[in-house]
Chain A
Amino acid sequence: MAITLYDHELDEDCYRLRLLAGFLGLDYTRVAVGVQPGHPVLLPAGVAADLPGRLPVLDANGLTLVGAAAGLAFLAQSHDPAQRWLPVAPDLFGPVMQWLAFSAGPLAAAVAARRSALFGLGDPQALVPAAVAALTAMEDHMVLRGHADQEWFVGDRPTLADVALFPSFALSRDFGVEHDAFPALRKWLRRFRQIEGFRVMPGIPDYA
């Protein structure tokens, strides 16, 4: 199956897919799409998507999927035969879906705050309280996970939940939210960076 990712280097939703692709060791084509901040995304001529105007767009043999959550779920179903990233056991699948929905729900405030701060669109400060509230909910969860000697959001290994949540925390300094208030997330971030196949993006330091 030929996979193409219509991608923008600075877009954290695209990064979510690049992260999973790295973890899966996926062979895929990256097509950089020019983005004009504040305007709908224009895909290259001849590429159509059901939900035009947004990135990331994943094309798998002509099936196009828009948005990080759909792309993550699709890649996990199609390229992870051991079903580690999207486990099928209901007691794991349910919580992974909960955090996947959270990443596109409450955590979207963080994505929007960053976009606003980086590209000078609107007032990022208006979005920061909601972004901090979402990160605080993640911190609370990881505090409790830590007391249960668990290192990941769901189950005992990284899943799509971690992949979907990681970028917004790792990039929070782009919209002025420091990491010092989130010690449990800080520990999780350092652990996440150790996953085989991890890659960085601008705003996330490479310590090599």
Chain B
Amino acid sequence: MSLVPVSLSADLDAGAVTGIRVAGQDLVLWRDEAGVAHAWDDRCPHRGMRMSFGFVRGGSLNCLYHGWQYGKDGQCSRIPAHPDLEVPKTIRIPSFPVIERAGIVWVSTAPDASLALADPGPVTPLRSLRLPVSLAVALNALKALPTPDAGGTVWTAVDDATGFLTVGPHRLLVACHESGPNAVALHVVLLGEADAATRVALSRWLAAVRLSLASAEEAA
């Protein structure tokens, strides 16, 4: 089983918390104030409320509802209603493997998951894009998108959901995650460096895939 891409690293700043869905399971993805990203079950052991509504303080994630505090290992460290209580070790949120590579956060719900992608060296984050289609349809539309230099794109697959896309003089890494029947997220970074004008142009170009999909649907 492979790790799945869930966010650009740059989009998850220290203190950020968000809900994600991986392999049919709701997870909370958050980054502590030391910069380490965590993925946990999105469920507070107290009353089952969503941890993705919670907030980060230093190295812990706090549940919004009654303030139970969980340290980096998912272990509950403090219950505000009982400040003197030594919290039982059994109160713990299951946590999952997180890897950051190529400017992307990858998560798996399987403990032994691996990542086929080798470290491509320095990257520049471009954007994430959600599309209401299948992975195959999204990738085909992206590969067929007219390029500014009219030279077309070249796709070099790493695996089913990840690959390098050459667009004119630029090389993009596109990491996809199909989270439902018609829901796919594309996380895209540029290999090497680029100035703001190039990043803007490539981000606009990527967003144009939405229009191409909408007009393809109309034609169908």
A interface vs B, CB < 8 Å? 136, 140, 143-144, 147-149, 178-181, 183-184, 186-187, 190, 205, 207
Contact = CB atoms under 8 A, between A and B. Distances in A.
B196 A143 contact: no
Given A140-B207, A147-B200, A183-B12, 7 more contacts: A144-B204, A180-B18, A184-B11, A187-B16, A205-B55, A207-B62, A207-B64
A128 to B, nearest CB: 12
Contacts of A178: 19
Nearest to B127: A143
Interface of B: 7-8, 11-13, 15-16, 18-21, 53, 55, 62, 64, 127-128, 130, 185, 196, 199-200, 203-204, 207, 210
A148 B203 CA distance: 12
Nearest to B62: A207
A187 B20 contact: no
Contacts of A181: 130, 185
B64 A187 contact: no
Given A179-B18, A183-B8, A207-B55, A143 B64 contact: no
Contacts, number: 48
B13 A187 contact: yes
Contacts of A183: 7-8, 11-12, 18, 128
Nearest to A148: B196
B126 to A, nearest CB: 8
B69 to A, nearest CB: 13
A148 B204 CA distance: 13
Nearest to B195: A147
Given A187-B11, A205-B53, A179 B19 contact: yes
